[in-house]
Amino acid sequence: MNMNFAIDTLYDTRDADGDTLKLLIDTDDSGYLFAAAAKRRREYYGTDIYIRGLIEFTNYCKNNCLYCGIRAENVSAVRYRLTKDDILACCSEGYRLGFRTFVLQGGEDMYYTDGVLCDMVSSIKSAYPDCAVTLSVGERSYESYKALFEAGADRYLLRHETASPEHYAKLHPKSMSLENRKQCLFELKEIGYQVGSGFMVGSPYQTLDCLVEDLRFLRKLEPDMIGIGPFLPHAGTPFNAFEKGSLRRCLNLIAILRLMFPYALIPSTTALGTIHPDGREMGFMAGANVVMPNLSPNGVRELYTLYDNKLHTGSEAAEGLSELRERVAALGYNISYNRGDVNRDCRV
Ligand code: SF4
């Protein structure tokens, strides 16, 4: 198959058959693919890179995903929770720095009942009505999602991690269900959230067919935001001896996602920056247009370790925005200080 022809077809039709997708996911010759994705991104978002202030407010979790460093059974994890006042202080600092989206991320920590979370969300929205609040707190009931939306939450991130039932069963304990996760995502959409999903690249037992299944699931969901990142092992998990995911495959997938979902907000994740010193910049060049610097209090940043050696300083930190601005400008892009809502219409 002529690779450039396949990329042109993906650009025009926003879809491809499974064999073509597998070829593109695995190619070492990605120049034309990245150029097509960069062109597509410019058509929808110009040169803007959107920033989100990430507040990791609890590393307690009731679940035991086999790949995750803050899984309940990892007794070596030092646990913490932030109070509403802690979180509002993070928002205040973030607002001063120019952030207009706050992402509240945590494990599935039942300490944060609907009442506690709704109070946090409505307090942030009353103090900063021009800001978006994104939640990333896992699987909850329809009623809970609805209450949080009514309290003012605008967006919700829930990565499905893998859309293949067989693969899902190898990454999660029996108590967890892929069906429930998928149902949560469709419920979040129905309620009215801007919804984000995504998956790990290179997780144990993943095949190219699994990745095609991930792309097919996203096609059904049509999320506003899509986050992917390489699997990175954590010493305190059953997957500690597995190889990390491939940077190249991750970048190829960012470009494929940009071509399949031109309107999507796609972050260049901290995991990419962790796997390679210029990983985040490479993500932008492959089609990503969002970055989520860490706005958590300094004392807890190194405790939210989903994987080993996670970056949390320099341009990964909210206070490193000027460094980030320079790094992005060197690529021909610019940091945007607006809310950065999804844009479903091509501008050209
Ligand atoms: S991946 Fe999420 S749900 Fe699973 S153990 Fe980690 S924090 Fe909990």
User: Cα(211) to centroid of ligand 1, in Å?
Assistant: 20
Cβ atoms of residues 317 and 293 within 8 Å: yes
Cβ atoms of residues 186 and 134 within 8 Å: no
pLDDT at 312: 65
pLDDT at 197 over 70: yes
pLDDT at 314: 62
pLDDT at 307 over 80: no
Q: Which residues contact 16 (CB under 8 A, 6 or more apart)?
A: 6, 9, 10, 24
pLDDT at 347: 75
pLDDT at 309 over 90: no
> Which stretches of the chain are DSSP H helices?
3-13, 18-26, 31-45, 84-97, 114-127, 142-150, 165-171, 178-191, 208-221, 247-260, 270-275, 279-285, 298-301, 321-329
- Residue range 133-187, pLDDT digits in tens: 999 999 999 999 999 999 999 999 999 999 999 999 999 999 999 999 999 999 9
For residues 100 and 270, which has the higher predicted lDDT (pLDDT)?
A: 100
User: Cα(40) to centroid of ligand 1, in Å?
Assistant: 33
The confidence band for 265, taking pLDDT boundaries of 50, 70 and 90, is very high
What are the residue boundaries of the structural domains of the chain, listed by start?
48-246+298-320
CATH number (3.30.200.20, 3.40.250.10, 3.40.30.10, 3.20.20.70) of 48-246+298-320 reads: 3.20.20.70
pLDDT at 67: 97
pLDDT at 303: 75
Q: What is the mean pLDDT of residues 204-233?
A: 97
CA distance 83 to 259: 41
Helix (H/G/I), strand (E/B), else coil: 105 = strand
Distances in Å between the Cα of 80 and the Cα atoms of 77, 109, 116, 296 are 10, 11, 16, 12
Cβ atoms of residues 255 and 33 within 8 Å: yes
User: Cα(345) to centroid of ligand 1, in Å?
Assistant: 34
Ligand 1 atom closest to the CA of 138, numbered from 1:
3
The confidence band for 300, taking pLDDT boundaries of 50, 70 and 90, is confident
Ligand 1 atom closest to the CA of 68, numbered from 1:
6
Q: What is the mean pLDDT of residues 38-48?
A: 96
